[in-house]
Amino acid sequence: MNYIKPVTLSALALIASFSVYADDMQAKVQAYIKSGFHKGKNQDPKRLEQDETLKVCSETRGKVSGEQAKAIVEREKATIKYPANGILMGNWQKGKKAFTDGFAMRIGRYEPDAPDKVRGGNCYACHAADPKELAAGNLGTNLRGYGKIRGNTWDTVKYTYDKIYNAQSVIPCSNMPRLGHNGVLSPEQIADIVSFLVDPASPVNK
């Protein structure tokens, strides 16, 4: 049985060296990404640092245990902020603009954006919504007829608001950006987007 030991040790050494190599490569990748940031507004490389939720999702590749999923939902729900007036359905016309415009979670650029640039969700990058808007992505759920299908009950409105504000509070390890949590959209903008999706008068539901 002695001949097994060298093979076992070699395998362990290979695994260990690969782990060190992977860690070293990860560090180099992170350093390279950080080097792309420049001084200026919205150029903070701290955005590359993962919080507890993202670390868990990365380490498990999104396949979290029931206990981990529960912890994520509870932690992320606690971050949600609602409009000062308590109204979760705003103006659908404003919501259409916030849904369409902006750049969502873009990281870095060579020159700062103009002060009057709209800060919206760029939601069409992943979702279809208004049937007349053909330039829509399919990475996310097709939202055409959202309110017509789901109705405009309080449960639908609150679920929609929470999902947009912090998708992790609804679906652990969701690929959707935490648009309110990360300050991309204000609570008022999110309420407007909720209206754009739910209001029967919105083109989404025509």
Q: What is the pLDDT of residues 71-128, one digit of tens each?
A: 999 999 999 999 999 999 999 999 999 999 877 666 555 555 566 666 788 999 999 9
What's the sign of the alpha-carbon dihedral 53, 56, 26, 178? negative
In contact, 161 and 194? CB cutoff 8 Å:
yes
Q: What is the pTM of this model?
A: 0.78
Task: Name the residue ranges covered by the structural domains of the chain.
Answer: 1-35, 43-205
Which CATH number among 4.10.520.10, 3.30.420.40, 1.10.760.10, 1.25.40.340 corresponds to the domain 43-205? 1.10.760.10
Closest CA to 89 of 178, 177, 154: 154
In tens, the pLDDT along 5-60 reads 444 555 555 555 555 566 677 778 777 777 766 666 656 666 678 899 999 999 99
